[in-house]
Amino acid sequence: MKAVNAGERCTMQEITSFDEWQELLEASTQLVLFVKADHCSVCEGLYPQVAALESEYPFPFYRVNASAVPEIAGQLALFTAPVVLLFHDKKELARFARIVPMNDLKKRMEELVQWGNVENA
């Protein structure tokens, strides 16, 4: 896993292999996964908006380039990019593909926070 370039404003960690993804999923109770692809202008436009949310939520945010790690696209049944996935207890809680309404994404992230609070109570 490597950090995003220092010139970028976010700290979203990049997943570089399917094995790494499986380890992160096993080790994390909750997480957000941003999936992009090469030559995807929509991905480049959405990424900073999603990354800006990272500081507002208690769970980690990760990104992966499906062109570089194609196995993740196959295993997660990803047929387009960008895709934002929310996970809770190793299961997909929500999926947003291609066009991501930020208000809907924030609402589902708030639900993810509440799920975590219930389990930690």
**pTM of the predicted structure, to 2 decimals:** 0.86
What's the rounded mean pLDDT across residues 77-99? Answer: 94
**Per-residue pLDDT, 11:** 74
**How many other CB atoms are there within 10 angstroms of residue 40's CB atom?**
19
Query: H helices within 7-101, ranges in order?
Result: 18-27, 41-51, 70-75
Greatest alpha-carbon span in the chain: 44
What's the rounded mean pLDDT across residues 103-111? Answer: 94
**Per-residue pLDDT, 36:** 96
Domain 2-120 has CATH 3.40.50.11540: no
Listed by start position, the domains of the chain span: 2-120
**pLDDT tens across 14-39, in order?**
999 999 999 999 999 999 999 999 99
